[in-house]
Structure 1
């Protein structure tokens, strides 16, 4: 199964609403992309309680989404994760597929969606024991996953001959040359049965760059066609790593892109690319709009990621695009997947000159901070009822707060200590925060 080009809602955290999904599906069609993958890891019916049947309201919502997708020329790939790290009896039995009660529940879920116009499916075996501890990976586990996928597509094609299945394997990242013996055995086992493609995130889970040669090498090692699950804007990692996984309020950071971690040749070498969405739908819309322009460009000169991102902001936010661009500049790049495109922001360069005592730099820094301190209120006024304001509000508030704290620090204002304390407590993170320690 070739997954095409598009987006996968494949992050941990609050899933998108169906309204946001419809908006994104329409956008995909408008910008020339063709696939929406449904795999929100924190939706209980996707992973934690995958075996439960979908309710009437949920089925109706998917039917409506499928209708929107048909009109837009977009395919929906419905994802379900039938194994978990601590799944116990909830997981599929190791020894059987056909006839097993859990497998029949998997089939029933998918058949209920076929009846609503969705015929493409994604089985996710990611973030299970072979993922976390690669030495637990084995050919036996790979063979079992292949058997499940093969049996599922056989059953679904009895209902709809066009039905297809793709797999997110337990081993889904890493260079072919660096795979452990267990990982290789797992992939060999996965190649023993059926005809389905595999997802791969690149050399790393958050890959700074993915080349055509790396795609081809992994596909050869896996014995399968490979599509790229690109985490270039995925931002669920920060809140999870800073407390959310333990039930606490973790830190958050927006990520608009630019998507600059994928060689153009890697697209041709793969069976598709799905950009894993950010938690914020409107941020994902911006990134998809920019990336679609890069994908369509016939020459390297037309694939300027920064220029595409600038135009995407204008398209998404209209007259407020320039203001949102100021905000996006404070979260430019991805701290893991795209550290190489982050670079120094203009305000950081001004701050360096001010620290060096260059004449006029301190005054220029104050002026820049005054402008950023009012960015939140200007954005609020410009965006009005735009659905994206909710996604941007936290970061805009943090930029304003940090700017005010930095101004107070520069001016030796007695209020500086209080403001600095408030910035530390704020959930949202920006690159502007780094100046709190540098000035």
Structure 2
């Protein structure tokens, strides 16, 4: 992709003392209240801040830095504007009353803190690290950075990087180690384990809106995701009408998306899917394909994908292909596709030196069994073309290192993972919001994969839960903890909304807790068969099991007290989320929040009915069970909105757990 041009020193100097918002469209907030001069700082050895994605290395370096007064940012021309703007914004949010930006070689004696931004091997950065006695490895892999922060009598913050993306990611880490008035005294050495990390908008049903895509691209920057593949199945110009040019207004939106992607160090990959109608041996069709790619190149696209998924290879689209490749067969389809891709790679990609290697989704994308089709691709396809693969199954129950190893064997190259989670466009996902963790992807997959992109839901903001986990995994799969990343998503949505709302350095704990309750209720993740690969409501299920054991043992007061407290947290969660979570997440989740309102009432009524029964008041118990059934009926009456998601169905929340308990309790808990 085109890297954003580095910022000249002249422009940097013009920025002195000025804040430019780096990640939002909102005006910058006023500086927060400054800490007192004698405010305490944490000592070496105290806890480390939480950073998502998890850095490769992070350790306590010294005291925290107290942010107050004037802060001086010394920046080299190699640092681009997004990284500088984000750094300045974070410093202002932390409590700096003034931020001045200067070129190297000058010094402001009035500054209470000096921040150095530059290349990893530049004299300014090397000297700064030496002065802090931080012996960081000389890591110069793409997108890598080192960050060192230490307080005390002469506080300093140094951020050195291998490239502009590394500078931007250093600033994103700075955002997460900063709290009001404080920057944690830590050293960080960091690099991603996978070169491609992100999302593919590849689902069926209502595509994301332009504003949702803009927000997603900013969010990807926050999460150090660097790839967005534009491939919505219901965009006619992507698939059904692939030969036709985009109307001017749609092309203008694409240009705006490309600009947003570049501003957040995201590759905008344009996917064109001609497989349902292309004649592989027809020169006119080839020229139409190249012409469409050239038109997208002309508006700024530098990364391209040709998906040939979800098409038939039991028939040709034209008689000429049968003459060229023989009767329809898997092997013939593989040869025809490989010839097309090789020609695109040679005649288009190689003719544009700034275009990245071509990406490709094969027709057989979801297993590791060899076939005539895979053999043809393996033997004929240019080795530079990236081949996408969904795992051992369209929606696999897990993805292991051995799976990826077998995929490498059948495709003749390491594969690029198209992960069909949390997509909810298939029949057995109807009625579900998939808010479970990004789980059952084996540590160590980075050794076998070229990258990892997830196929999200029709609900863009709600997809951030799984996308956060995928970002953590693709950046540092060896240290990946699904539960940690799951909570990090709640924290982002509960306050650290840099991309999609009023920015904040802190998350509201009550909103985080409410989101975790809600996530649990929407934990169930189905396979294409409808069977779960992630179980429904595991935390609620655990609590209900504990309740029934205590009830059976006669410890009923304790059982009822514990379960009622959790039932109340379910009933309270929707309102807490509506009040404290990111508005776009609330909008996406509203049908499921409404269902949770009713199911929370049903569970509370059931618990109260059981308490009445335990006290010998069966009439009150019956009234309570009737109230629970009425609330459950209201929940079951809710359905998905066809304007928001495909396919349609009743809203499902903790089904098989909560509804089962409410139904069983009147007759079985006696």
Pick one of 447, 451, 455 that aligns with 1:272: 451
2:542 is aligned to 349
Shift of 1:142: 0.6
Pick one of 314, 317, 329 that aligns with 2:491: 314
SS across alignment from 1:69: helix
Alignment CA distance shift 1:226-1:367 (3 Å): same
Q: Which has the larger radius of gyration?
A: 2
2:138 is aligned to none
1:172 is aligned to 365
Task: Answer whether contact 2:290 2:344 (CA < 8 A) is retained.
Answer: yes
Shift of 1:215: 1.4
1:371 paired to 2:546: no
2:398 is aligned to 209
Moved more, 197-206 or 221-230: 221-230
Pick one of 283, 287, 290 that aligns with 1:104: 287
C-alpha separation in 2, matches of 1:283 and 1:150: 38
Shift of 1:417: 4.1
1:291 is aligned to 470
Alignment CA distance shift 1:315-1:364 (3 Å): same
If asked which structure has higher relative contact order (CA below 8 Å, sep 6+), I would say 1
Shift of 1:270: 1.5
Runs (5+) with no aligned partner, structure 2: 2-193, 316-327, 496-507, 610-621, 640-650, 665-670
Pick one of 632, 646, 651 that aligns with 1:420: 632
Q: Write out aligned runs for 1:7-406 (5 A).
A: 7-84=199-276, 91-94=277-280, 96-97=281-282, 99-100=283-284, 102-130=285-313, 137-157=329-349, 160-163=352-355, 164-176=357-369, 179=370, 184-191=371-378, 192-194=380-382, 195-237=384-426, 240-241=427-428, 251-297=430-476, 300=478, 302-318=479-495, 319=508, 320-332=511-523, 334-336=525-527, 339=532, 341-342=534-535, 345-356=538-549, 357-358=551-552, 359-360=556-557, 361-383=559-581, 386-406=583-603
> For residues 276-330 of structure 1, what are the alpha-carbon distances to aligned partners after superposition, in whole Å with 9 as ceiling and x for unaligned?
11222122223223332344348x4x42110121022102321233222221111
SS across alignment from 2:453: strand
> For residues 68-102 of structure 1, what are the alpha-carbon distances to aligned partners after superposition, in whole Å with 9 as ceiling and x for unaligned?
22222221111121123xxxxxx0125x14x22x3
Task: Answer whether contact 2:225 2:471 (CA < 8 A) is retained.
Answer: yes
Shift of 1:3: 6.9
1:435 is aligned to 658
Task: Answer whether contact 1:53 1:108 (CA < 8 A) is retained.
Answer: no
Alignment CA distance shift 1:317-1:224 (3 Å): same
Task: Answer whether contact 1:47 1:80 (CA < 8 A) is retained.
Answer: yes
> For residues 29-60 of structure 1, what are the alpha-carbon distances to aligned partners after superposition, in whole Å with 9 as ceiling and x for unaligned?
23222111111112222223222211111111
2:45 is aligned to none
Q: Which has the higher helix share?
A: 1
Alignment CA distance shift 1:406-1:129 (3 Å): same
Alignment CA distance shift 1:20-1:344 (3 Å): closer
Alignment CA distance shift 1:326-1:353 (3 Å): closer
Shift of 1:408: 4.1
2:321 is aligned to none
C-alpha separation in 2, matches of 1:291 and 1:138: 33
C-alpha separation in 1, matches of 2:472 and 2:255: 29
Give the alignment's Cα RMSD to 1 decimal.
2.8
Task: Answer whether contact 2:526 2:534 (CA < 8 A) is retained.
Answer: no
Q: When the two structures are aligned, how many residues end up with a matched partner?
A: 408
Scaled by the length of structure 1, the TM-score of the pair is 0.84
Task: Answer whether contact 1:402 1:432 (CA < 8 A) is retained.
Answer: no
Q: Which has the higher strand share?
A: 2
C-alpha separation in 2, matches of 1:166 and 1:430: 37
SS across alignment from 2:200: strand
C-alpha separation in 2, matches of 1:189 and 1:329: 45
Task: Answer whether contact 1:233 1:277 (CA < 8 A) is retained.
Answer: yes
